[in-house]
Amino acid sequence: MRFAPGSHVDEFEIVEELGEGAYAETYKARDTDTDRVVVLKMINPQLFADPHNFARFRREAKIVAKLDHPNVLKSLDDERNRTEPYLVLEYIDGDNLRRYANTLGGPVPLQTALDWGRQLADALVYLHSHGIVHRDLKPENVLITADGTLRLMDFGTALLDGAKRLTWRHFSESLGTPDYMSPEQIKGNRGDARSDIYAWGVLMYEVLTGRVPFGGDNWMATMAAHLQVDPKPVRTYRKEVSPQLDAVVLKAMRRYPEHRYQSAEELLRDLEHLDELDPASFDLSPEPPMGGMAAIDSAKRLWAFVGLVAVSFIGIVAIIITLSVVLR
C-alpha cells in the first residue's frame, strides 16, 4: 500500500515518499501531535505473510529501539499501538554518503575521509558493544547531516547476539551488498563484528579512491573476487594517502577474519594514532584464495532452475500456439 502526500497514518501526515526497496518503503512525515518531522519505515505488507519476514521486522524494531549514539540514526517510536507495523525514525535533512560524494566531482578530501572513517568506526564500537552486527555497511546506508556528522542507518539485515537464524542460510544470512560483503558472508555464514570491519574497509577504500576494490561484470564475479583476489593498495590510485592509513584500510579488508582487526576498538585506536603506526609492522602479504563459494553456487543453481522453468514455459506456449494453428 502506497501513501500519497497529505494522507495520514495514525498521528502522522505523509509529506513525501523518500525511497522504496524490496523490503520496505520510507516516507517523510509530520507528527501532528508534536509538529516534528520524522521518517516512517513501512514494511512491504505482502512480506508479512511470511513469518520469517515478520520476524525480521520485529528484530529490526527491537534493535533500533535500543540505539542511542551520535553516529547512529535514532528511533523515535513511543510504543503507541499502531494501526499497522512500521518504524518511526529520526529525520535527517541531508543526503546519503553515496550521493554526497558524487556531488564533489572528485575524490573526497583526505581529512574529510579520515573524519568519516573515525565516525563510522566509533559507531561500530558502539553497536558491537551492544551485541549488534550491522552486516550491510555501505554508502547508501550512511546519512550526512549539515554539520558533517554521519548517521548509520538501516538495520533490516542486522544481527543481534542470541538471535536465531531466520531462513535458509545461503540466501537469508548471506545478506548484504556484493561490493561490501565480507568473504565469510559470501560463503553463507552469518558473519560477526569482523564482517562489519571488512565492510568498513571496502567503504573507506571507495571513499579514498573513488572506486571499489573488487569489480566484475556481474554480482557473482564481484563476490568471487572477494574470495580470490587481493586488493591493490589504496596508494596505487591516490599517492597522497599516507602509508599508515593505507595499511589500516588493507588490514580491515583482509580476506580471512582472523587476519583483520579483531575489534572495532582496535581499528578506532589505530585511526586515532596514525602518526604512531609503522606500516612495515602490518602483515599485508598475499592471502590464499578462500574456497567454498556456497552462496554463489546456490544462486547459480537457483538461476539455472529459473531459466529451465522459463524455457519450459516458452516451449509449452509454442506447442499450444502450433496446435491451435494446425487444428483450425
**What nine digits make up the cell of 152?**
548509520
Which ranges of 158-283 does DSSP label H, i.e. alpha helix?
Answer: 183-186, 193-209, 219-228, 243-252, 264-272
CA gap 19, 25 in Å, rounded = 6
Helix axes of 193-209 and 264-272: crossing angle, nearest 10 degrees: 30
Distance CA 212, CA 34 (A): 43
Cα 3 off chain centre by: 26
Cell (9 digits) for 291: 574456497
Tell me phi and psi for residue 14, to 5 degrees.
-70, 130
Burial of 154 (0-12, 13-18, 19+ CB in 10 A): buried
Query: How far is residue 90's CA from residue 40's CA, in Å, rounded to a whole number?
Result: 9
Vertex 227: Cα angle to 134 and 252 (nearest 5): 50
Active site residues: 136
Amino acid identity, residue 47? Answer: L
Q: Which helix (H) or strand (E) holds 313?
A: helix 294-326
Q: What CA–CA distance (Å, rounded) separates 303 from 213?
A: 26
Cβ atoms within 10 Å, residue 243 = 16
Provide the sign of the torsion angle of the four alpha carbons 122, 125, 130, 133, taken in this order: positive
